[in-house]
Amino acid sequence: MRRAALRVRPAPAPAQYFCRPSLPLHHHTEHAASPLLRRNFASSQPVRDEQQRPSFKGQLYESTQQRLKRERAEQERFSQYQTQSPGARYAALTFVLVFFTTGGYYFGSLTPNAPASSSTTPLADARPVKHNTTSSNLQAAWADFVGIVGKENVSTDEFDLHSHSGSEFSTYSVKDSEKPFIVVYPSTTEEVSRIMKICHQRLIPVTPFSGGTSLEGHYAPTRGGVCIDFQRMNRILAFHKDDLDVVVQPAVGWEELNEEVAKDGLFFPPDPGPGAMIGGMVGTGCSGTNAYRYGTMREWVLSLTVVLADGTVIKTRQRPKKSSAGYDLTKLFIGSEGTLGLVTEATLKLAVKPKSESVAVASFPTVQQAADCARRVVEEGIHIAGLEILDDVQMKCINASKSTRREWAEAPTLFFKFAGTPLGVKEQIGIVQKLSKSTGGKTFEFARDDTEMKELWSARKAALWSVISMKRNPSDHVWTTDVAVPISKMPDIIERTKRDLTQSRLLAGICGHVGDGNFHAIILFNDKQKSLAEEVVHRMVKNAVELEGTVTGEHGVGLIKRDYLTHELGETAVDVMRQLKFALDPLCLLNCDKTVRVEAPLPGEIKEW
């Protein structure tokens, strides 16, 4: 019988485990205490569930009631929010926005930005420049610098700050706010590296300074910060006479270098203006009166030691005269104007001094005839050492300034420098004299000894200083600028510029290295004439570009010429330069704002082309 009872016992329906409604606690307790329920649970449970389970209509009614209760609760909370003051609602909303914005920024910062995929950096895509030039940060840096170079080599003297901001012969007019907070004088590459590491950590902008003879605003501290003056780094570190090279620090002057190596019958050919130092010459990629025969600074630098923006020290190559090992980092830093790295050592090539040298001077009725004679000399392939031009205004300034010992013909004049064997020099002089006469030359004079040679060449070296000496009032300024064109275009652009300067009625002279198509305009103007001088220079630069020339042959870009680069090279080429700048100096600490813009110009800041 027991087995039969087991066989007929009904199986529990699966639905009872999840469809049975919950019972009140006291109901559960009551039945849990009932012996009858425990004893008869197996047989009676299905029947009891059917009796206790609500109908489908009841379940629907109960669900609807619960939903209405929830809606009424939401309405009550909303009505409470509506009764709050507008200020309270605004505060609550502000809190929510700040909370989610901050949280979003935090979690977003956990995922790094995707690397840039472009080969260029247009100005519109340039990262904002963020420096920390607060007084507290700079004062803390002062203590760090004192620990590196000593208190006597860190200056906040007002005279030092002013003299490291600009000069009376610089084209750029420094603003009152543009001066460094501090000037630091290191003596070794290691000290420069430590200084840059501090500036990198503290986000302090840096302006390099060596001879201070730059003309286009190269060392104007547009962002304040720190000026690193290399004047204590003025030693010749190694002289390899047999290899014809020398290793020097950046504050070695080219004139002092030549005095030293001349003892061994050698010389360093680039010869810019007096006072220039190797660091600045590398930075601007300069040249001088010997460029026609010997080339520019780029041809005479073998290797550089450079401190990068984060303090890293690199050497660009070894000492051999030639190398095909990788990228030419040496050339990359030459002409970069301290925007990519700080040069602390330079290995320079030297040349053997010629056996014989001489100088000749020829005057012409017009500046165009003088330029035409220069073109003819180049076309004939006469390998003279130098070929310079000074116009009539420039010669008048030299006479008026008494900067040389002799009186000059106040006419457009060519200066020739000859070098080679005695016989070769004599032959060159004869050929040039004939060419001078055939192009309308009025006079021709050549030096017969070293004394006469220095005297004849002295006028060329006195050009800039003679115009500066013509200043009569504190409001007078000198604008010195240069361009270069293919040699065949030289007579044309000199004639255009001369005509423009004459019509402007500004006191302005023309001089330059016509042997390689490079010439300068030196303009005297006062505050009221500044816009007029700007227009003359603008047209001179525009003419050069339209004649397939360059906006600067040797002065460099600095602040004055940076907006002309796009017209000469195209926008994408400048964008590549900006990409290089941010690649080597991502925080834009080194000589910020020079060569290429890193921030958009202000309205009206760029002249219409």
Can you give 67-131 as a three-state secondary structure string?
HHHHHHHHHHHHHHHHCCCHHHHHHHHHHHHHHHHHHHHHHHHCCCCCCCCCCCCCHHHCCCCCC
pTM flag (> 0.85): no
| Residue 369 and residue 348 share a domain | no
| Residue 381 and residue 263 share a domain | no
Does residue 444 form part of some domain? yes
| Residue 330 and residue 414 share a domain | no
Helix (H, G, I), strand (E, B) or coil at 145: helix
Averaged pLDDT of the chain: 87
DSSP for 363-391, please give it: E-SSHHHHHHHHHHHHHTT---SEEEEE-
pLDDT band at 112 (very low <50, low <70, confident <90, very high): low
Mean pLDDT lowest among 144-153, 164-173, 230-239, 245-254: 164-173
Does residue 249 form part of some domain? yes
Q: Please give the backbone phi and psi of residue 147, each rounded to the nearest 5 degrees, phi first.
A: -65, -20
| Residue 94 and residue 25 share a domain | no
Instruction: Tell me the C-alpha distance between 386 and 515, whole Å.
Output: 7
As given in the structure block, the two tokens for residue 427 are 């032959």
Tell me the sheet residues that pair with 245: 240, 349
Instruction: Tell me the C-alpha distance between 290 and 104, whole Å.
Output: 63
| Residue 369 and residue 243 share a domain | no
Tell me the sheet residues that pair with 155: 183
Residue 111 pLDDT greater than 60, yes or no: no
| Residue 42 and residue 80 share a domain | no
Q: Report DSSP state, residue 251.
A: T
φ/ψ bin of 338: left (φ > 0), alpha (ψ from -120 to 50), beta (otherwise): left
Task: Evaluate whether 314 touches 305 at the Cβ level (below 8 Å).
Answer: yes
pLDDT score of 90: 61
As given in the structure block, the two tokens for residue 217 are 């605003």
| Residue 396 and residue 474 share a domain | yes
| Residue 510 and residue 490 share a domain | yes
Does residue 580 form part of some domain? no
Question: Which contiguous run of DSSP H or E holds residue 472?
Answer: none
Q: What percent of the chain has pLDDT over 70?
A: 81
pLDDT higher for 520 or 68?
A: 520
Q: Angle at the Cα of 265 (from 259 to 267), degrees rounded to 5?
A: 55
Measured distance between the N- and C-terminal CA atoms of the chain, rounded to whole angstroms? 116
pLDDT, average across residues 527-535: 95
| Residue 202 and residue 251 share a domain | no
| Residue 391 and residue 468 share a domain | yes
Instruction: Tell me the C-alpha distance between 600 and 49, whole Å.
Output: 81
As given in the structure block, the two tokens for residue 523 are 């303009």
pLDDT higher for 174 or 341?
A: 341
Task: Among 204, 229, 254, identify where a domain stops.
Answer: 229
pLDDT score of 219: 96
Helix (H, G, I), strand (E, B) or coil at 420: strand
Residue 44 pLDDT greater than 60, yes or no: no
- The domain total for the chain is 5
Residue 147 amino acid letter: G
Instruction: Tell me the C-alpha distance between 31 and 26, whole Å.
Output: 9
Instruction: Tell me the C-alpha distance between 215 and 479, whole Å.
Output: 8
φ/ψ bin of 595: left (φ > 0), alpha (ψ from -120 to 50), beta (otherwise): left
pLDDT higher for 268 or 86?
A: 268
Tell me the sheet residues that pair with 352: 266
Which range marks the domain in which residue 23 is found? 2-53
As given in the structure block, the two tokens for residue 65 are 């009631």
Task: Among 307, 336, 352, identify where a domain stops.
Answer: 352
